[in-house]
Amino acid sequence: MKIALIGATGMVGGVLMEVIKERHFPFDKLFLVASESSIGRKITFLKNEYTLIGIEQALQEEVDIAIFSAGGDASLTWAPKFAEKGTFVIDNSSAWRMDNSKKLIIPEINGNILTNHDKIIANPNCSTIQMLMVLAPIHKEYGIKRVVISTYQSITGTGMKALKQLENEYRGIKGEMAYKYPIHQNAIPHCDDFLANGYTKEEMKLSNETHKILDHTIKVSATAVRIPVIGGHSESINLSLNSSFNLDDIKSLLKRTNGVELKDDVDNFQYPMPLFSKGKDEVFVGRIREDFSEKNSLNLWVVADNLRKGAATNAIQIAEKIIEKGYIVN
Protein backbone atom coordinates (compact mmCIF):
# COMPACT_ATOMS: atom_id res chain seq x y z
CA MET A 1 0.00 0.00 0.00
CA LYS A 2 1.35 3.38 -1.05
CA ILE A 3 0.64 6.54 0.96
CA ALA A 4 1.46 10.17 0.17
CA LEU A 5 1.44 13.06 2.63
CA ILE A 6 0.97 16.32 0.73
CA GLY A 7 2.32 19.16 2.87
CA ALA A 8 4.58 16.91 4.92
CA THR A 9 6.71 19.74 6.32
CA GLY A 10 3.81 21.81 7.70
CA MET A 11 2.40 21.69 11.23
CA VAL A 12 -0.31 19.16 10.34
CA GLY A 13 2.11 17.16 8.20
CA GLY A 14 4.43 16.69 11.16
CA VAL A 15 1.56 15.56 13.37
CA LEU A 16 0.33 13.18 10.67
CA MET A 17 3.65 11.36 10.88
CA GLU A 18 3.37 11.19 14.67
CA VAL A 19 -0.13 9.71 14.40
CA ILE A 20 0.94 7.19 11.74
CA LYS A 21 3.71 6.02 14.06
CA GLU A 22 1.52 5.86 17.18
CA ARG A 23 -1.37 4.04 15.50
CA HIS A 24 0.92 1.68 13.56
CA PHE A 25 -0.83 2.72 10.39
CA PRO A 26 0.07 0.16 7.69
CA PHE A 27 1.94 1.12 4.53
CA ASP A 28 4.52 -0.36 2.20
CA LYS A 29 5.70 2.89 0.65
CA LEU A 30 5.46 6.42 2.00
CA PHE A 31 5.94 9.53 -0.12
CA LEU A 32 6.53 12.84 1.64
CA VAL A 33 5.51 15.75 -0.54
CA ALA A 34 6.54 19.37 -0.03
CA SER A 35 6.81 22.66 -1.88
CA GLU A 36 9.48 23.23 -4.52
CA SER A 37 11.80 24.95 -2.06
CA SER A 38 11.95 21.80 0.10
CA ILE A 39 12.28 19.15 -2.62
CA GLY A 40 15.37 17.02 -2.07
CA ARG A 41 15.58 17.54 1.68
CA LYS A 42 15.94 14.43 3.80
CA ILE A 43 13.63 13.44 6.66
CA THR A 44 14.17 10.50 9.00
CA PHE A 45 10.96 8.72 9.97
CA LEU A 46 10.54 5.29 11.58
CA LYS A 47 14.31 4.74 11.24
CA ASN A 48 14.14 5.26 7.48
CA GLU A 49 15.37 8.23 5.49
CA TYR A 50 12.90 9.84 3.10
CA THR A 51 13.63 12.39 0.41
CA LEU A 52 10.99 15.11 0.01
CA ILE A 53 9.46 15.05 -3.45
CA GLY A 54 7.21 17.31 -5.50
CA ILE A 55 3.52 16.75 -5.99
CA GLU A 56 3.90 15.93 -9.70
CA GLN A 57 6.19 13.02 -8.85
CA ALA A 58 3.76 11.82 -6.17
CA LEU A 59 0.98 11.84 -8.76
CA GLN A 60 3.01 9.57 -11.04
CA GLU A 61 3.47 7.05 -8.20
CA GLU A 62 -0.28 6.25 -8.31
CA VAL A 63 -0.60 6.03 -4.54
CA ASP A 64 -3.52 4.36 -2.81
CA ILE A 65 -4.17 7.17 -0.30
CA ALA A 66 -3.07 10.81 -0.46
CA ILE A 67 -3.62 13.03 2.57
CA PHE A 68 -3.60 16.70 1.65
CA SER A 69 -2.54 19.36 4.17
CA ALA A 70 -1.20 22.00 1.81
CA GLY A 71 -4.04 24.53 1.62
CA GLY A 72 -7.18 24.92 -0.45
CA ASP A 73 -5.56 26.00 -3.72
CA ALA A 74 -3.34 22.92 -3.86
CA SER A 75 -6.31 20.69 -3.05
CA LEU A 76 -8.52 22.21 -5.73
CA THR A 77 -5.79 21.81 -8.34
CA TRP A 78 -4.36 18.42 -7.48
CA ALA A 79 -6.98 16.36 -5.63
CA PRO A 80 -9.02 15.66 -8.80
CA LYS A 81 -5.85 14.56 -10.62
CA PHE A 82 -5.06 12.03 -7.89
CA ALA A 83 -8.68 10.89 -7.78
CA GLU A 84 -8.64 10.26 -11.53
CA LYS A 85 -5.84 7.74 -10.94
CA GLY A 86 -7.97 5.90 -8.37
CA THR A 87 -6.32 7.41 -5.31
CA PHE A 88 -8.40 8.05 -2.20
CA VAL A 89 -7.77 11.70 -1.35
CA ILE A 90 -8.37 12.86 2.22
CA ASP A 91 -8.31 16.64 2.25
CA ASN A 92 -7.65 18.76 5.34
CA SER A 93 -8.48 22.08 3.69
CA SER A 94 -11.88 23.73 3.30
CA ALA A 95 -11.77 23.26 -0.50
CA TRP A 96 -14.24 20.37 -0.77
CA ARG A 97 -16.17 20.46 2.51
CA MET A 98 -19.34 22.05 1.20
CA ASP A 99 -19.22 20.42 -2.24
CA ASN A 100 -22.44 18.43 -2.45
CA SER A 101 -20.69 15.65 -4.35
CA LYS A 102 -18.08 15.15 -1.60
CA LYS A 103 -18.59 13.62 1.84
CA LEU A 104 -17.57 15.39 5.04
CA ILE A 105 -16.46 12.73 7.48
CA ILE A 106 -15.96 12.31 11.21
CA PRO A 107 -15.47 8.51 11.35
CA GLU A 108 -17.15 7.99 14.73
CA ILE A 109 -20.24 9.85 13.51
CA ASN A 110 -20.71 9.12 9.81
CA GLY A 111 -17.79 6.97 8.65
CA ASN A 112 -20.29 4.28 7.66
CA ILE A 113 -21.49 6.37 4.67
CA LEU A 114 -18.14 6.09 2.86
CA THR A 115 -18.18 4.07 -0.36
CA ASN A 116 -15.56 2.86 -2.80
CA HIS A 117 -16.59 5.68 -5.14
CA ASP A 118 -15.63 8.45 -2.67
CA LYS A 119 -12.23 9.34 -4.07
CA ILE A 120 -12.13 12.86 -2.56
CA ILE A 121 -13.12 12.92 1.11
CA ALA A 122 -13.23 16.13 3.11
CA ASN A 123 -11.90 16.43 6.65
CA PRO A 124 -14.11 18.86 8.62
CA ASN A 125 -12.93 22.05 10.27
CA CYS A 126 -11.08 21.40 13.54
CA SER A 127 -13.60 23.33 15.64
CA THR A 128 -16.49 21.47 14.04
CA ILE A 129 -14.96 18.05 14.70
CA GLN A 130 -14.56 18.50 18.44
CA MET A 131 -17.97 20.13 18.80
CA LEU A 132 -19.83 17.41 16.89
CA MET A 133 -18.02 14.60 18.68
CA VAL A 134 -19.86 15.79 21.79
CA LEU A 135 -23.08 16.95 20.15
CA ALA A 136 -23.76 13.86 18.02
CA PRO A 137 -24.69 11.47 20.87
CA ILE A 138 -26.75 14.17 22.58
CA HIS A 139 -28.61 14.94 19.36
CA LYS A 140 -29.33 11.26 18.78
CA GLU A 141 -30.78 10.88 22.26
CA TYR A 142 -32.59 14.19 22.83
CA GLY A 143 -32.58 16.18 19.59
CA ILE A 144 -30.78 19.53 19.41
CA LYS A 145 -32.71 22.63 18.36
CA ARG A 146 -30.09 25.32 18.71
CA VAL A 147 -26.38 25.73 19.41
CA VAL A 148 -24.68 28.91 20.58
CA ILE A 149 -20.92 28.45 20.55
CA SER A 150 -17.92 30.61 21.34
CA THR A 151 -14.51 29.21 20.44
CA TYR A 152 -11.16 30.06 21.99
CA GLN A 153 -8.77 28.87 19.33
CA SER A 154 -5.10 28.00 19.48
CA ILE A 155 -2.63 29.90 17.32
CA THR A 156 -1.56 26.55 15.86
CA GLY A 157 -4.72 26.73 13.75
CA THR A 158 -3.05 29.57 11.85
CA GLY A 159 0.28 27.78 11.40
CA MET A 160 4.00 28.28 11.87
CA LYS A 161 3.85 32.01 11.20
CA ALA A 162 1.49 32.55 14.14
CA LEU A 163 3.64 30.43 16.44
CA LYS A 164 6.64 32.53 15.50
CA GLN A 165 4.69 35.75 16.12
CA LEU A 166 3.78 34.64 19.64
CA GLU A 167 7.34 33.57 20.40
CA ASN A 168 8.69 36.90 19.14
CA GLU A 169 6.20 38.92 21.17
CA TYR A 170 6.90 36.87 24.28
CA ARG A 171 10.59 37.72 23.92
CA GLY A 172 9.99 41.34 22.95
CA ILE A 173 11.29 40.83 19.40
CA LYS A 174 9.75 42.60 16.41
CA GLY A 175 9.02 40.24 13.54
CA GLU A 176 6.58 39.14 10.85
CA MET A 177 2.93 39.29 11.93
CA ALA A 178 0.44 36.50 11.27
CA TYR A 179 -2.34 38.64 12.77
CA LYS A 180 -3.23 42.31 12.44
CA TYR A 181 -2.67 42.76 16.19
CA PRO A 182 -0.37 41.32 18.85
CA ILE A 183 -1.56 37.93 20.07
CA HIS A 184 0.52 37.79 23.26
CA GLN A 185 -1.68 38.72 26.25
CA ASN A 186 -4.54 39.32 23.84
CA ALA A 187 -7.74 37.76 22.47
CA ILE A 188 -8.64 38.51 18.85
CA PRO A 189 -12.31 37.96 17.86
CA HIS A 190 -11.32 37.26 14.28
CA CYS A 191 -10.67 33.78 12.83
CA ASP A 192 -10.52 33.65 9.01
CA ASP A 193 -12.02 36.30 6.72
CA PHE A 194 -15.09 38.38 7.48
CA LEU A 195 -18.16 37.81 5.31
CA ALA A 196 -20.96 40.16 4.25
CA ASN A 197 -23.20 38.95 7.09
CA GLY A 198 -20.67 40.10 9.71
CA TYR A 199 -19.59 36.55 10.61
CA THR A 200 -16.22 35.07 9.71
CA LYS A 201 -15.69 32.05 7.49
CA GLU A 202 -14.63 30.09 10.59
CA GLU A 203 -17.91 30.90 12.32
CA MET A 204 -19.97 29.92 9.29
CA LYS A 205 -18.05 26.65 8.97
CA LEU A 206 -19.39 25.63 12.38
CA SER A 207 -22.92 26.20 11.13
CA ASN A 208 -22.63 24.85 7.59
CA GLU A 209 -20.64 21.75 8.50
CA THR A 210 -22.98 20.89 11.38
CA HIS A 211 -25.85 20.95 8.89
CA LYS A 212 -24.03 18.71 6.44
CA ILE A 213 -22.74 16.16 8.96
CA LEU A 214 -25.40 16.07 11.66
CA ASP A 215 -28.73 17.75 10.86
CA HIS A 216 -29.67 20.69 8.65
CA THR A 217 -32.45 21.72 11.05
CA ILE A 218 -30.08 22.60 13.93
CA LYS A 219 -29.68 26.36 14.36
CA VAL A 220 -26.06 27.37 15.00
CA SER A 221 -24.70 30.75 16.03
CA ALA A 222 -20.93 31.05 16.51
CA THR A 223 -18.25 33.48 17.63
CA ALA A 224 -14.63 32.47 17.01
CA VAL A 225 -11.78 33.99 19.00
CA ARG A 226 -8.02 33.52 18.65
CA ILE A 227 -6.08 33.30 21.92
CA PRO A 228 -2.34 32.91 22.74
CA VAL A 229 -2.53 29.16 23.42
CA ILE A 230 -0.65 26.29 21.78
CA GLY A 231 -2.28 23.14 23.21
CA GLY A 232 -5.69 23.12 21.52
CA HIS A 233 -9.05 24.76 20.90
CA SER A 234 -11.62 25.38 23.64
CA GLU A 235 -15.35 25.85 23.11
CA SER A 236 -18.14 27.19 25.29
CA ILE A 237 -21.34 25.59 24.02
CA ASN A 238 -24.96 26.27 24.93
CA LEU A 239 -27.50 23.71 23.72
CA SER A 240 -31.26 23.91 23.47
CA LEU A 241 -32.78 20.42 23.27
CA ASN A 242 -36.10 19.12 22.01
CA SER A 243 -36.83 17.22 25.20
CA SER A 244 -36.10 17.33 28.91
CA PHE A 245 -32.98 15.67 30.27
CA ASN A 246 -31.20 14.59 33.41
CA LEU A 247 -27.63 15.85 33.83
CA ASP A 248 -26.40 12.51 35.12
CA ASP A 249 -27.82 10.84 32.01
CA ILE A 250 -26.04 13.35 29.77
CA LYS A 251 -22.76 12.70 31.58
CA SER A 252 -23.25 8.95 31.39
CA LEU A 253 -23.99 9.21 27.67
CA LEU A 254 -20.83 11.20 26.99
CA LYS A 255 -18.74 8.92 29.17
CA ARG A 256 -19.77 6.01 26.93
CA THR A 257 -19.02 7.88 23.69
CA ASN A 258 -16.00 6.60 21.78
CA GLY A 259 -13.38 9.32 21.36
CA VAL A 260 -14.85 11.54 24.09
CA GLU A 261 -13.45 11.79 27.62
CA LEU A 262 -15.59 13.19 30.43
CA LYS A 263 -13.58 15.45 32.72
CA ASP A 264 -16.17 17.03 34.99
CA ASP A 265 -15.46 17.13 38.71
CA VAL A 266 -15.54 20.77 39.79
CA ASP A 267 -15.26 19.85 43.48
CA ASN A 268 -11.75 18.68 42.70
CA PHE A 269 -11.11 21.32 40.02
CA GLN A 270 -11.24 18.79 37.21
CA TYR A 271 -12.27 20.30 33.86
CA PRO A 272 -10.89 20.31 30.30
CA MET A 273 -8.05 22.65 29.40
CA PRO A 274 -5.77 22.91 26.36
CA LEU A 275 -2.83 22.48 28.71
CA PHE A 276 -3.85 18.83 29.11
CA SER A 277 -5.29 18.18 25.65
CA LYS A 278 -2.02 18.84 23.78
CA GLY A 279 -0.80 15.72 22.02
CA LYS A 280 -3.94 13.71 22.80
CA ASP A 281 -6.59 12.37 20.43
CA GLU A 282 -9.56 12.50 22.79
CA VAL A 283 -12.15 15.28 22.84
CA PHE A 284 -12.56 16.42 26.45
CA VAL A 285 -15.86 17.68 27.84
CA GLY A 286 -16.73 19.15 31.22
CA ARG A 287 -18.43 22.03 33.08
CA ILE A 288 -21.70 20.33 32.16
CA ARG A 289 -24.57 22.20 33.79
CA GLU A 290 -28.18 23.03 33.25
CA ASP A 291 -28.96 26.43 31.79
CA PHE A 292 -31.36 27.80 34.40
CA SER A 293 -32.38 30.67 32.12
CA GLU A 294 -33.94 28.52 29.39
CA LYS A 295 -36.05 25.35 29.35
CA ASN A 296 -34.38 22.11 28.15
CA SER A 297 -30.99 23.80 27.82
CA LEU A 298 -27.49 23.10 29.09
CA ASN A 299 -23.92 24.38 28.93
CA LEU A 300 -20.77 22.46 28.04
CA TRP A 301 -17.04 23.19 27.84
CA VAL A 302 -15.21 21.21 25.11
CA VAL A 303 -11.45 21.07 24.48
CA ALA A 304 -9.33 19.15 21.96
CA ASP A 305 -5.95 19.33 20.28
CA ASN A 306 -6.81 20.94 16.95
CA LEU A 307 -3.78 19.41 15.22
CA ARG A 308 -4.68 15.90 16.38
CA LYS A 309 -8.38 14.99 16.34
CA GLY A 310 -9.07 18.33 14.68
CA ALA A 311 -6.90 17.43 11.69
CA ALA A 312 -4.27 14.66 11.55
CA THR A 313 -5.93 11.97 13.67
CA ASN A 314 -9.31 12.39 12.00
CA ALA A 315 -7.63 12.10 8.58
CA ILE A 316 -5.81 8.90 9.57
CA GLN A 317 -9.05 7.50 11.03
CA ILE A 318 -10.71 8.12 7.65
CA ALA A 319 -7.85 6.24 5.98
CA GLU A 320 -8.28 3.41 8.47
CA LYS A 321 -12.00 3.29 7.66
CA ILE A 322 -11.21 3.00 3.94
CA ILE A 323 -8.91 0.06 4.67
CA GLU A 324 -11.39 -1.51 7.09
CA LYS A 325 -14.07 -1.45 4.40
CA GLY A 326 -11.78 -3.33 2.05
CA TYR A 327 -11.57 -0.61 -0.59
CA ILE A 328 -7.80 -1.02 -0.94
CA VAL A 329 -6.49 -4.40 -1.99
CA ASN A 330 -2.82 -5.13 -1.31
Question: Phi and psi dihedrals of 233, rounded to 5?
Answer: -90, 145
* Geometric angle at alpha carbon 106, from 101 and 110, rounded to 5°: 70
DSSP per position, 152-168: EE-GGGT-HHHHHHHHH
Residues in contact with 90: Cβ distance below 8 Å, sequence separation at least 6, in sequence order: 65, 66, 67, 68, 121, 123, 315, 318, 319
Pairing relation of β-strands 144-153 and 233-241? Answer: antiparallel
DSSP per position, 285-328: EEEEEE-TTSTTEEEEEEEE-TTIIIIIHHHHHHHHHHHHTT-S
Under 8 Å between Cβ of 123 and 12: no
Pairing relation of β-strands 297-304 and 29-33? Answer: unpaired
Distance CA 42, CA 52 (A): 6
Distance CA 44, CA 40 (A): 13
SS3 labels along 250-285: HHHHHHCCCCEEECCEHHHCECCCHHHHCCCCCEEE
Cα-based torsion angle of the residue sequence 191, 194, 197, 201 in order, rounded to the nearest 10 degrees: -50
Active site residues: 126, 233
